[in-house]
Amino acid sequence: MIQVYVALGANLSQPIEQLNNACQALLSIAEDNSFSISPYYRSVPMGDVQQPDYVNAVAGFKTDLAPIHLLDALQKIENEQGRLRTLRWGPRTLDLDLLLYGNEHINLPRLTVPHYGMKQRSFVLVPLFDLTPTLILPDKTPLASLITDCLTAELQQAQ
């Protein structure tokens, strides 16, 4: 079993419901009693595409799936919830990003772990910190050292 962290995001078709449904689906690939989810946060979309705000969270769980099999399972969940990949950083029913796979560094054509943008994204760092404030990233950076007041001010808890 390996500890993994997955970012969840949605801004279409009742985003909170989308994240709730994704959590139910993630439970099916998580080792029993290992699943945890951060609070949900609202965040402003990245990029120049006009779209609604996102609802984001981070889930942590243990799994015995290999990295590519986990990626396939995550993309299957996205597809089952109506994810269409038409526009980079565009609106979506569900986005599931594998952030961390234990302490492994993975660089494959379809998968880069740790997730390439996680250190710059408040909607990833703050919920990840909520789950595991003492986490040390694979590059030996303490997660707590990345959390700033400015970063936390970018988010609002979702209702």
pLDDT digits (tens, 9 = 90+) for 58-69: 999 999 999 999
Average pLDDT over residues 90-118: 91
Q: What is the mean pLDDT of the chain?
A: 91
Q: Tell which residue, 47, 53, 52, 57, has the closest CA to residue 20.
A: 57
**Per annotation, catalytic residue among 42, 48, 64, 83:** 83
Q: pLDDT (tens digit, 9 = 90+) per residue, 19-55?
A: 999 999 999 999 999 999 999 999 888 767 777 889 9
Tell me the two tokens of residue 121.
């994204």
CATH placement of domain 2-157: 3.30.70.560
What would the mean pLDDT of 2-30 be, rounded to a whole number?
95
Alpha helices in the chain, H assignment, sequence order: 15-27, 67-80, 122-131, 149-153
Q: Is residue 139 flagged as an active site residue?
A: no
Give catalytic status of residue 97 as yes or no.
Answer: yes
Select which of 42, 85, 95, 121 is catalytic: 95
- Domain range summary for the chain, segments of one domain joined by +: 2-157
Told to judge if 83 belongs to the known catalytic residues of this protein, a careful annotator would answer yes
The catalytically annotated residue of 32, 72, 88, 92 is 92
72 an active-site residue? no
